[in-house]
Amino acid sequence: MKFYKDGIEAFKDKFEAICQARHHVHLEYFILRNDRLGAEITDLLCKKSAEGVEVRVLLDAVGSRKAKSLVRRMREGGVKADFFLPAGIFSPRFTFGMRNHRKILVCDGKVGFMGGLNIGDEYIGRAVPHHSWRDTHLRLIGPGVLALQRVFVEDWDFSSGELLVGDQYFPSPLFNGDARVQMVWSGPDQEYNASHETYFAAITAARKRLWIMTPYFIPDNALLTGLRSAALKGVDVQILTQSYPPDHWITYWAGRYFWDEMLACGIKIYTYSHGMMHSKVMLVDGAWASVGSANLDIRSMRLNFEINCHIHTAQHVKELEEQFQRDVENSMEITLAQFNCRSMGVQVCENVCRLFSPLL
């Protein structure tokens, strides 16, 4: 397992993995931008298809709505590309709210990537206003890749009607690492949302420290109670989130509505100062970690299709904790006294945006 703290190195390794693929390349992303990086990966996928490699691309119909010209190029180049839950009002599966927020790349069923990075120039620091993009992504080699493949295959079958089976898609895994991981995928098709249940279990299980990175912080009542209870029983609860200016204004102001209550019960809140903070990470007691696509917000817990990697090896959790501490050093702490000095206009904005939280 290898961790990435930004998109520059991650996409370098992704491009290399795609270039080395011999049988298939599978991509599943919420956002594909019609920009320089999007064009580069489109050209590479068409090149691999011309070499005889099976290439499949599954994109969320809303998140990637501006990438239709790239999808046409892919299809013309032999790539099989489809959209997840098309949002047109005449679509037989019309839904605007339930979106596929997963970010998955699998090459030959042997190498897999997942985490918070979509495909676009901003994720490698090329776009304004966020010239620096802080994210957490990971690469896996081993049995965990087969779980990523399973999620892709199920989503691809749902969207395209093509069911992928056989050893060529699910080869015997390599057992040459020491990381213990568990893939957890969730969505509105589940009776009990797996991301919500595991986040809640982790929060209530914390005894020493609970460190969270999430750009969008809009917890439901259960998660809110769990965080508050953890802090009141003496757990070191720290939340690292994005700073001003945000990438999504309504979500940002709605999230600030909860800061007062969090700060009052002893939770520390930090806003990242060195660019856009987009990581979705939870760290518990130095023994457990979660890295993936699910934010600590209602949308991720109820409406989105998400996937997270849960990590159970102390040395890998420690690596993530050390990065969290470095990120805190590059952040500003929000104190209760400071937050209480905000203007009445700001408070009104927070309260109004809070009304939209069931959709955020």
Active site residues: 101, 103, 108, 278, 280, 285
Tokens of 1: 């397992």
Q: How far apart are CA 202 and CA 161, in angstroms?
A: 36
Q: How far is CA 322 from the centre of its chain?
A: 20
Q: How far apart are CA 129 and CA 247, in angstroms?
A: 9
Angle at 41 between CA 43 and CA 1, to 5 degrees: 140
Q: How far is CA 45 from the centre of its chain?
A: 23
Count of C-beta atoms within a 10 Å radius of residue 76: 9
Smallest CA-to-CA distance from 266 within 233, 231, 217, 238 is with: 231
Q: Which SS3 state, helix, strand or coil, does residue 165 take?
A: coil
Q: How far apart are CA 289 and CA 281, in angstroms?
A: 7
Position 345, amino acid? G
Smallest CA-to-CA distance from 56 within 141, 144, 188, 156 is with: 156
Q: How far apart are CA 109 and CA 49, in angstroms?
A: 17
Tokens of 267: 């939770």
Residue 136: what are its φ and ψ, rounded to 5°?
-130, 125
Q: Which SS3 state, helix, strand or coil, does residue 7 take?
A: helix
Tokens of 181: 């991981």
Smallest CA-to-CA distance from 106 within 147, 78, 50 is with: 147
Burial 120-148 (b: 16+ CB within 10 A, else e): bbbbbbbbeebeebbbbbbbbbbebbbbb
Residue 271: what are its φ and ψ, rounded to 5°?
-115, 130
